Amino acid sequence: MDRSKPKNASEGIAPMGITTINDIADSNQPESRYECPVCLNWLRDPVITTCGHKFCNSCITSWLQNSGHCPIDNINLSMKVDIFPDNYTKREIQQQRMSCPFADKGCTLKVTPLDLDAHIAACEYNQPETSNQIDIKIPCSFQAVGCKETFKSQEEMNAHLHNETQSHMSYILNAYSEMKINNDMNASIDPKEQEAMILWEPDKNEGQNPAPPITNMGTLIRALYERVVVLEQRNREQDIVIANISKQLSAFAVAKNKQNQDMLLRYCMGNYVWRIDNFQARLDAMLKDHYKMLYSPGFYTSPNGYRFCVRLNISPQNPLCFALHVHLMKTEYDDCLEWPFNGRISFAMINQYEPELSQRDTMMSNSSLIAFRKPTTEICVRGFGYTEYAVVSNVVKNGFVKEDCLIVRVHIKCV
């Protein structure tokens, strides 16, 4: 007489199903005064009945097609005379703003409750997290012969199949020879065949089996061929590894070089040597177009001090002369420095054949000039220096250019 059915049922009922509720819907639960009793959602185009109940326009319309009564109190209702738009409630709902449920993923949008569902469906942050949540992996179709790769998508697998043809071939060969061995063993043939499979360990093989029977030749060749394929594959893989490593190395070298230069500029203590390579070509370009100017990289008077660059160009007043100026440049710590800049600025254009003939000049900064105020642009628009520093033809003729390179040394010292 005792039936276990009701007992089972009550056990099954417990909390099941609660996790399947869409959490997103949770956040969009309207307050009861804004809720349509028919769809239990936010009132959309709300209407009010003569009996004082609010519904979505479409909900009450659908309901009254089959019934003549209010869904709540059963009072007779006619679509024509008992239903009025409730624009007050409509406005109240439209004034509400709700955050997108994907706010934690970065969506900052706030929309009215009525637009929320449409937004959720279209939200760019509403991406199924296939990689994290559902970890469905497709095994390689050569799994049966030993390929252990798995893939997230068919495309990935196709690429793998394309690239790994050789290793798959060797897997198949392996599988085939194993099958063959098993068959042969079943036919109770000498197990030496198996030893032939490990021929590439010659000491073992030769020691035990100096003269393999001729019937094993086929297996032997297969085994060797398979080995060759495996080695070729490994070789190829290592070529790729080597190529990758050398690529990385050269990238490192470039980065290191750049870092070195940056360090030099930062730690030169205002003592900067500007080597202008390809001088002739640059000079020709400047002579052709007087607005062309050469700027040096920015260098620092101390590691976190003022930053200057040097400008060399054809003097706008006298096209036979070079102008040479320094410009202050912005740094991230400008606020820590004292303004305007105060200090001594020395130029030296080095005569590379007779260094004692180098042209040296020293100036003191002038705190009333805009050029020494805190720069407001990356490079201060006003420079400080000589508009007629040197005659162009003298620079070229008199030994300042050697191996197509001009050297200007600038020393800036704060006082």
Partner 1 sequence: MANIAAKRIKREFKEVMKSEEVAGGAIKLELVDNSWTELQGTIAGPPDTPYEGGTFLLEIKVPETYPFNPPKIRFITKIWHPNVSSVTGAICLDILKDQWAAALTLRTVLLSIQALLSAAEPNDPQDAVVAKQYRDNLFLFNLTARHWTNVYAGGPSNITDFNDMVQRLLDMGVEEHQARVALSTYDWELERATEQLFS
Q: Of 39 and 189, which has the nearer Cβ to partner 1?
A: 39
CB of 48 to partner 1, least distance (A): 14
Identify residues 277-336 at the interface with partner 1 (CB under 8 A).
Answer: none
Lookup: tokens for 45: 């185009």
d(CA 386, CA 27) in angstroms, rounded, equals 70
Using DSSP's 3-state secondary structure scheme, residue 311 falls into strand
Is residue 12 a contact point for partner 1 (CB under 8 A)? yes
Question: Count residues contacting partner 1 (CB under 8 A)?
Answer: 35
Considering only 10-18, 44-52, 185-193, 304-312, which stretch makes contact with partner 1 by CB under 8 A? Answer: 10-18
User: Which amino acid appears at position 31 of this protein?
Assistant: E
Among 92, 115, 97, residue whose Cα is nearest residue 46 = 92
CB of 100 to partner 1, least distance (A): 19
Q: Kindly give, in sequence order, each residue whose CB lies less than 8 Å from that of residue 153, ignoring residues fewer than 6 positions away.
A: 138
Is residue 134 a contact point for partner 1 (CB under 8 A)? no
CB of 13 to partner 1, least distance (A): 5
Among 137, 212, 140, residue whose Cα is nearest residue 172 = 140
d(CA 66, CA 187) in angstroms, rounded, equals 82
CA quadruple 249, 251, 252, 257: dihedral sign: positive
Please pick, from the candidates 21, 121, 122, 187, the single residue that binds partner 1 as defined by CB under 8 A: 21
Is residue 3 a contact point for partner 1 (CB under 8 A)? yes
d(CA 197, CA 132) in angstroms, rounded, equals 44
CB of 62 to partner 1, least distance (A): 5
CB of 110 to partner 1, least distance (A): 22
Do residues 361 and 405 touch, judged by C-beta distance below 8 A?
no
Is residue 5 a contact point for partner 1 (CB under 8 A)? yes
Is residue 42 a contact point for partner 1 (CB under 8 A)? no
Is residue 40 a contact point for partner 1 (CB under 8 A)? yes
Is residue 71 a contact point for partner 1 (CB under 8 A)? yes
Is residue 51 a contact point for partner 1 (CB under 8 A)? no
Chain-centre distance of CA 38, in angstroms? 48
Is residue 74 a contact point for partner 1 (CB under 8 A)? yes
Do residues 140 and 149 touch, judged by C-beta distance below 8 A?
yes
Q: For 143-213, where are the E strands, in sequence order? A: 150-151
* HSE of 246, CA atoms in CB hemisphere, 13 A: 5
Using DSSP's 3-state secondary structure scheme, residue 287 falls into helix
Q: Of 67 and 130, which has the nearer Cβ to partner 1?
A: 67
Is residue 122 a contact point for partner 1 (CB under 8 A)? no
d(CA 181, CA 178) in angstroms, rounded, equals 5
CB of 168 to partner 1, least distance (A): 40
Is residue 203 a contact point for partner 1 (CB under 8 A)? no
d(CA 329, CA 311) in angstroms, rounded, equals 12
Is residue 89 a contact point for partner 1 (CB under 8 A)? no
Lookup: tokens for 398: 């008199």
Please pick, from the candidates 34, 38, 57, 156, the single residue that binds partner 1 as defined by CB under 8 A: 38
Please pick, from the candidates 34, 44, 45, 72, the single residue that binds partner 1 as defined by CB under 8 A: 72
Q: Of 29 and 183, which has the nearer Cβ to partner 1?
A: 29
Binding site for partner 1 (CB under 8 A): 1, 3, 5-7, 9-10, 12-13, 16-18, 20-22, 25-26, 29, 37-41, 53, 59, 62-63, 65-67, 69-72, 74
